[in-house]
Structure 1
Amino acid sequence: MSPDAQTQKRNEDTKPAPDKKPAPQKVHVLNANEAQKRSMRAQARRRWLTRLSFLFLVVIPTALTALYFFHFAADRYAVEAKFAVRSPSSTVPSGDLLSMMTTMTSAGSTMSDSYMLVDFIESRDLVDQLEDKVDLVEIYHTEQADFLTKLKADPTAEELRKYLNRWVDIYFDTASQILTLRVQTFDPQSAQALSAAILEVASDLVNEVSEQARFDSMASAEREVARIEQQLDEHRQAMVAFRDERQDVDPEASAGAQIELLTQLEGQLSSSRARLNSLLTYLSEDAPTVRVLKTEIESMERQLEEQRQRLGTGTANTSQGGDLAEGNAELSMSERLGIYEGLAVDMEFLRQAYVTALAAREGARLEADKQQRYLASFVKPSLPEQSLYPKRLQTTLVFFCFAVMIWGISLMIIYVVREHAN
């Protein structure tokens, strides 16, 4: 083959092949009737699913709820008691500011005690306090209870507290400061007994807290009285020791007697000297009468000097307390009187301090009595004659409305999601 022929053949081989037309696709065109049928089938499927969901989410749960409440649920008897924490000082305040402030303080304290009672009744400590009064397991683990409300045979303290909170309700009205206790059990006698036991335990708690507050408020006053009493007793013993040692019950009276005696001696001495001077005018000094009178005068002078020394002179070693004198040193009357007056002044001061401490203790006692708390129960637990719980029809209707609401919300969410997906 010639080169030209080869080139031509190569060019023919390299020519692009003519375009091939794709095979025509079969297009199915829906007519109005077929589209309507498909739409009706989808709507019917949605209606069927809606009815099925309503059946499983509303009808069956409501039927099971009604079956339980009207056939299996046990009757429960409720006992209601109303009480309040009160104080003797919680009266209507007068117009003065001090009375208003005192009453407001008392009201705040009683409100705090009321909240304390609410927390106590909802705590485990109530279960521990009730063990000695009622048998909670025997009350709630009974054949009268149904399978959903019956307490297990051997519960722990925590499980018993959690279970008891279902059937014991406490409500505190802050406006009237009244507490309402509602107890439910499966027979009327146990409901009344349990409610009375809870009130007794609550009253014991209020009394205990009130007594502790009273003791704390009076402790300081009692300590002050005891301290003054001890000092007064020690001072009395010091005065008794002083009187025993000096053999003088009343140094002031003894000093008065000594001064009176000294005055009499001075008067007699002056009279004797006057007589002596009168005799010397016509008698000599050697006359017997003059010598006797001089001897009397000398004797009175010595006695007067001794009395003066006993009143204000002489050596002494004094000290306060029980150590009033050392050895056989003799105290002068003025020194003994000074020590005794010091003891007497201290004694009088301690007596006044003791009277003041007793008055302060009495004031603290009166104030503590005003702040005392007590539980005032004006609606006492009574024996119920008819079971109030469970509220079968009301609970079933509430459950039905709740189920319908959940079903409607779920259905709406599904439609919204599908709409966004399309």
Structure 2
Amino acid sequence: MSQEDIDKLEERFNELEASCSEEEWQDADFLREKALELEESDLELAYRIMQRAHNIRPSGWLIKSKLKEYREGLLEAGSPILILSSDALTASDEFESSLEEPVSREPMTLYQRLNYFLKQPITVFVVLPWILIAVYFLAWASPRFESHAQVIIRKPNVQSGEEGSSPLLGNRPGSAASDTQLISAFILSRDMLNHLQSELSLFEHYTSDKRDAISRLSSSASNDEFLAYYQGHIVVDVDETSSVVSIKTQAYSGAYAQHLNQKIIAKSEDYINSIGQSLARKRLTFIEAEHRLIEDRLRKAKTDLLRFQQKYRLFDPQQEAQAVQQISFKLEEVLSDKKTQLLALQEYMQDSSPKIRSLQREISALEKQLMTEKQRLISQKGQQDISFGEVLARYSAFQIKVDLAMQAYTSSLVSLERSRIEAYRQLQYMVVVESPTLPEDNSYPNKLYNLSLSAVVLIMLFGIGKILIATVRELA
């Protein structure tokens, strides 16, 4: 500090003297309070004022202690104000020895003690805020009750043979974990909030004037604020190992918290069932539509085959062809035998003999019959435009269509049955492990925890503030 700065300090000191009355200027208590007011903003001026108070009351222990504190602060800052002579007290050895002398503490009034205590920084920034917080939690905060419940999602048991995966339906790996996460998200969703509002008038409960103004929801809150407040008072925990869902609901009465928990469980069960049933219903509808198409295809194939059989008056062309061939083979065998007999008789009998003529007539009849049977293989019952082989080929084509349609129909029946089993498997239900409890004592606010936490936070903030102020002064 230069001489110019010292002169400016003296000017401020003189201006303060001019602004005070003679009675105030001679009052050590008044000067002490004035110095305490200026110690944060102007330490040099506070030191000069406290010097004046010490001159008036040298035995004041509070004045001596503050003056020593100011002196140490000025020494750390390297201020040359300590070499300044003024009034009756300077930074001489006599003054330093007077500060080191045992202090004879004069009794302070209760008002002085209280005034001194209230002006301390730790009182303003730590003690008073903590007292206000304590008053709120101990005397004003509305009690909140919490109801607990635990549920687990289960599906109906099916036989292992029915539970196998099918290419059309498939299985859902890890469905238990996904279902619990789905329930957790639904409980905290806006849809659940709207349902609870319609069932329990939740908004009116949370905004009631009977609750304290700090913890209750504002009556003019928007939908988003209402949702955030609701999510802050509902806790859903999912145990990944056991898939148990824990539901905790907070309300301003124990019965309401229990009723709220019951409504959440009931709505969640309806929701999880609706999802499974909807998925199963869509799959079943698709399978049934495909089954009807395959059934129509089988019916058409059978109708076409029946019309073909009626047209050519055949039950089974392949069997009839085999029968005609067998007849032809027998006729040829008999004909060959008769011709052999004829040759044998012609060796020793005349052609005009009755026995030879009889054989010749039999051979002629057998040849005509054989020709007729072979003609049946060439044309179908006198229809010269189509051969028996072509009839057989057409019949085979119709039969193949019927067989393929029957195989598709059988496979469709299996898929349809599996889809019905899958629809049954999709029916989920909630097993209540722990019914919603009826709390007798309020769980919130946790007074001891909140007061301890607020004290720690206030002290930490105060300490950080002191460190920052000291750092700024050191760098200034």
With the shorter chain as reference, the TM-score category is: 0.5 to 0.7
Q: Which runs of 5+ in 2 are unaligned?
A: 1-82, 104-111, 158-170
**Partner SS for 1:384:** coil
Q: Is 1:339–2:397 an aligned residue pair?
A: no
8 Å contact kept, 1:78–1:387: yes
Amino acid at match of 2:125: L
- Residue matched to 1:380: 435
The change in CA–CA distance for 1:83 and 1:33 in structure 2 (over 3 A counts) is farther
The change in CA–CA distance for 1:225 and 1:283 in structure 2 (over 3 A counts) is same
**Partner SS for 1:180:** strand
Offset of 1:202 from its aligned partner? Answer: 2.8
Which one of the candidate residues 290, 301, 304 is aligned to 1:235? 301
The change in CA–CA distance for 1:417 and 1:36 in structure 2 (over 3 A counts) is farther
- Residue matched to 2:124: 56
- Residue matched to 1:32: 93
Offset of 1:263 from its aligned partner? Answer: 4.6
Amino acid at match of 1:383: L
Q: Distance in 1 between matches of 2:380 and 2:154?
A: 72
8 Å contact kept, 1:265–1:300: yes
8 Å contact kept, 2:152–2:244: yes
Amino acid at match of 1:397: S
Pairing of 1:49-198 with structure 2 (within 5 A) = 51-85=119-153, 108-131=174-197, 133-153=199-219, 155-198=221-264
Which one of the candidate residues 395, 410, 420 is aligned to 2:465? 410
Q: Distance in 2 between matches of 1:240 and 1:54?
A: 106
Offset of 1:165 from its aligned partner? Answer: 1.3
The change in CA–CA distance for 1:420 and 1:278 in structure 2 (over 3 A counts) is closer
Offset of 1:234 from its aligned partner? Answer: 3.4
Offset of 1:142 from its aligned partner? Answer: 3.3
Offset of 1:78 from its aligned partner? Answer: 0.7
8 Å contact kept, 2:254–2:439: yes
**Partner SS for 1:206:** helix
Q: Distance in 2 between matches of 1:236 and 1:38?
A: 124
Q: Distance in 1 between matches of 2:196 and 2:391?
A: 71
8 Å contact kept, 1:114–1:177: yes
The change in CA–CA distance for 1:134 and 1:32 in structure 2 (over 3 A counts) is same
Q: Distance in 2 between matches of 1:385 and 1:112?
A: 35
- Residue matched to 2:6: none
8 Å contact kept, 1:144–1:186: no
Offset of 1:243 from its aligned partner? Answer: 1.8
8 Å contact kept, 1:124–1:158: no
Give the superposed CA RMSD: 4.5
Offset of 1:38 from its aligned partner? Answer: 9.2
Q: Is 1:245–2:306 an aligned residue pair?
A: no
**Partner SS for 2:224:** helix
The change in CA–CA distance for 1:210 and 1:359 in structure 2 (over 3 A counts) is same
Q: Distance in 2 between matches of 1:261 and 1:132?
A: 88
8 Å contact kept, 2:148–2:249: yes
8 Å contact kept, 1:81–1:379: yes
Amino acid at match of 2:273: N
Offset of 1:381 from its aligned partner? Answer: 1.1
- Residue matched to 1:305: 371
Q: Distance in 2 between matches of 1:336 and 1:349?
A: 20
Q: TM-score, normalised by structure 2?
A: 0.61
Amino acid at match of 2:265: L
Offset of 1:187 from its aligned partner? Answer: 1.8
**Partner SS for 2:444:** coil
Identical residues among aligned pairs (%) = 26
Q: TM-score, normalised by structure 1?
A: 0.68
Amino acid at match of 1:377: V
Q: Distance in 2 between matches of 1:367 and 1:406?
A: 61
The change in CA–CA distance for 1:171 and 1:290 in structure 2 (over 3 A counts) is same
